[in-house]
Structure 1
Amino acid sequence: MDIATRATTLLDLHHTGTTLVLPTVWDAWSAGVVAEAGFPALSIGSHPLADSRGQADNEGMTLDDALDGVRRVCGAVPDLPVTADMESGYATPAAELVERLLEAGAVGLNIEDTVHSEGGRLREVTEHADYIGAIRQAADAAGVDLVVNARTDAFVHADRFADPLAEAITRMKACEEAGSRSSYPVRVPDAAALQSLLEALAGPVNVTANPRSGSPAGSLEDLQVMGVHRVTFGPLLMKELAPDLAALVTPWR
């Protein structure tokens, strides 16, 4: 399956009327295990990828480091669409970022509005939307239906806003208008806030959840009933596995 076909497949999976679960992997081994479990597409999280490399999240990796990880995952599951967390873009122009990401084999990406290379400042609404729009334009020029998952950290930085929910909606709407294909408001605090986001936004919404305990907005079944389009695990799958791994090896110490 060529990269354009994988991209279109991933985009179509967001619009089936059912909740798309994209397990978050970090290396070739975890990607292979999840693929064998029968999932139609995967996501790569920057946090677990960085942990697997002994580096820090929040762009403790370089773009080269991140793309090395992306390339290894995509190479392990060549027939599956893979989307990758590219943090805030690693201070890279949109056209270059898209070119290099596609070359690594990914057909979707997250881009957040916290700029780690500039002290963790939050991009202005229009600034972030413009970057999202430039990424979409570069993908369109390449003839690939790249799934641009625009992320906002409005809830992460809730203390900066009088109304974090309204801020998240404003930011996600601006990104939708600029060409994002999915919205990713991180750390949605509860089901009521998630419902407001789903009602306000035109396109798919991504929710982070723990595969054992669900999310602050509810279980997978709750999210499905609400009409959530996409679920990823962020760093939570890797963290959930740690106690199991310790319990498995501890009797042999």
Structure 2
Amino acid sequence: MNALADKATKFLALHQPGDPVILPTVWDAWSANLVQQAGFAALTVGSHPLADSLGKQDNEGMTFAESLARVREITAAVDIPVSLDIEAGYGRKPAELIEGLIETGVVGLNIEDTVHSEGGRLREPQEHADFVAALRQAADAAGVHVVINARTDLFVKQVGDEADRTDRAIARLRLAAEAGADVLYPVGRHTPETLRRLTSELPLPVNAISTPDQNDRAYFAEAGAARVSFGPFFQAALATEANRLLQRWS
């Protein structure tokens, strides 16, 4: 447990605004090894590519147990810190989620505010913050500072009026910060102006998303991001290249 706690502390320390950690998003031991061998300091496991690799649908088409079974293979294959997208929590209690992550060797998590099991509704801002608080309490009780990346889907789901969407996202994520989150994730492909506003007005390190073949680390550093992940785009880019190779033979 002490080794896992140390790994979690080191993972959190990688999140530096203006000096972002790049976390390629993986889905199995092969892709995780690819990332570690390329020299990255940590990685994240995305629900979308993981579900695809299992023949399941994203948005909790797989179970928490199915996710953990695959992630256990990943943590056994690599030494670097691993974070897992736990979607909306699969209907599990926060303590159960933290217990499963720690047992699997995971030191970070993404938690969405979309409740897939309830028609894709968004949790109310305080409701999401309360879920974050319960996750933090459970992790603290377990003695591992699991790095909580609190995500809002306001942008990707285009919820409400665009004119005040950034204001609402900031207000929502500030509540999550007060509840014990470590990183804030206003997921979406933002304009440079919006990303700079988010990184400057939010009180914690901000996670940005990118495709692996666009922008670069310097772009996100200048915008003030502390973490960059690829969501489903790394897997999609590899699929495009695989299709190119296969078409020569079909």
Structure 1 length-normalised TM: 0.94
Secondary structure at the aligned position of 1:211 is classed as coil
- Of the candidates 208, 216, 220, which is equivalent to residue 217 of structure 2? 220
Partner in structure 2 of residue 185 of structure 1: 186
- Whether 1:172 aligns to 2:173 is yes
Structure 1: which 4+ aligned runs deviate by more than 6 Å? Answer: none
1:150-169 alignment to 2 at 5 Å?
150-161=150-161, 163-169=164-170
Partner in structure 1 of residue 103 of structure 2: 103
Given that 2:136 and 2:181 are in contact with CA atoms closer than 8 Å, whether structure 1 keeps it comes out as yes
Given that 2:18 and 2:221 are in contact with CA atoms closer than 8 Å, whether structure 1 keeps it comes out as no
Cα 1:158–1:251, aligned 2, differ >3 Å: closer, same or farther? closer
Distance apart, 1:192 and its partner CA = 1.2
Secondary structure at the aligned position of 1:109 is classed as strand
Given that 2:189 and 2:210 are in contact with CA atoms closer than 8 Å, whether structure 1 keeps it comes out as no
Partner in structure 2 of residue 251 of structure 1: 248
Equivalent-residue separation in structure 2 for 1:205 and 1:221 (angstroms): 15
- CA displacement, residues 111-134 of structure 1 (integer Å, 9 cap, x when unaligned): 000000111010000000000011
Equivalent-residue separation in structure 1 for 2:159 and 2:129 (angstroms): 22
Equivalent-residue separation in structure 2 for 1:159 and 1:153 (angstroms): 8
Given that 2:14 and 2:21 are in contact with CA atoms closer than 8 Å, whether structure 1 keeps it comes out as yes
Cα 1:189–1:225, aligned 2, differ >3 Å: closer, same or farther? closer
Cα 1:159–1:139, aligned 2, differ >3 Å: closer, same or farther? closer
Partner in structure 1 of residue 52 of structure 2: 51
The residue type paired with residue 122 of structure 2 is: L
- CA displacement, residues 139-196 of structure 1 (integer Å, 9 cap, x when unaligned): 1111111100000001123242451111110111000000000000011431111111
Q: Give the aligned CA root-mean-square deviation in angstroms.
A: 1.4
Unaligned runs of 5+ in 2: none
Partner in structure 2 of residue 232 of structure 1: 229
Partner in structure 2 of residue 36 of structure 1: 37
Partner in structure 2 of residue 135 of structure 1: 135
Equivalent-residue separation in structure 1 for 2:94 and 2:191 (angstroms): 33
Given that 2:129 and 2:175 are in contact with CA atoms closer than 8 Å, whether structure 1 keeps it comes out as yes
Secondary structure at the aligned position of 2:110 is classed as strand
Count of aligned pairs between the two proteins: 248
Distance apart, 1:210 and its partner CA = 0.5
% same residue = 50
Equivalent-residue separation in structure 2 for 1:159 and 1:81 (angstroms): 33
Equivalent-residue separation in structure 2 for 1:17 and 1:118 (angstroms): 37
Distance apart, 1:226 and its partner CA = 1.8
Equivalent-residue separation in structure 1 for 2:108 and 2:147 (angstroms): 4
Distance apart, 1:16 and its partner CA = 7.9
Partner in structure 2 of residue 75 of structure 1: 76
Partner in structure 2 of residue 60 of structure 1: 61
Secondary structure at the aligned position of 1:2 is classed as helix
- Whether 1:121 aligns to 2:121 is yes
- Whether 1:4 aligns to 2:1 is no
Equivalent-residue separation in structure 2 for 1:9 and 1:203 (angstroms): 17
Partner in structure 2 of residue 88 of structure 1: 88
Given that 2:42 and 2:81 are in contact with CA atoms closer than 8 Å, whether structure 1 keeps it comes out as yes
Structure 2 length-normalised TM: 0.95
Unaligned runs of 5+ in 1: none
Secondary structure at the aligned position of 2:190 is classed as coil
Q: Which has the higher contact order (CA 8 A, sep 6+)?
A: 2
Distance apart, 1:75 and its partner CA = 1.1
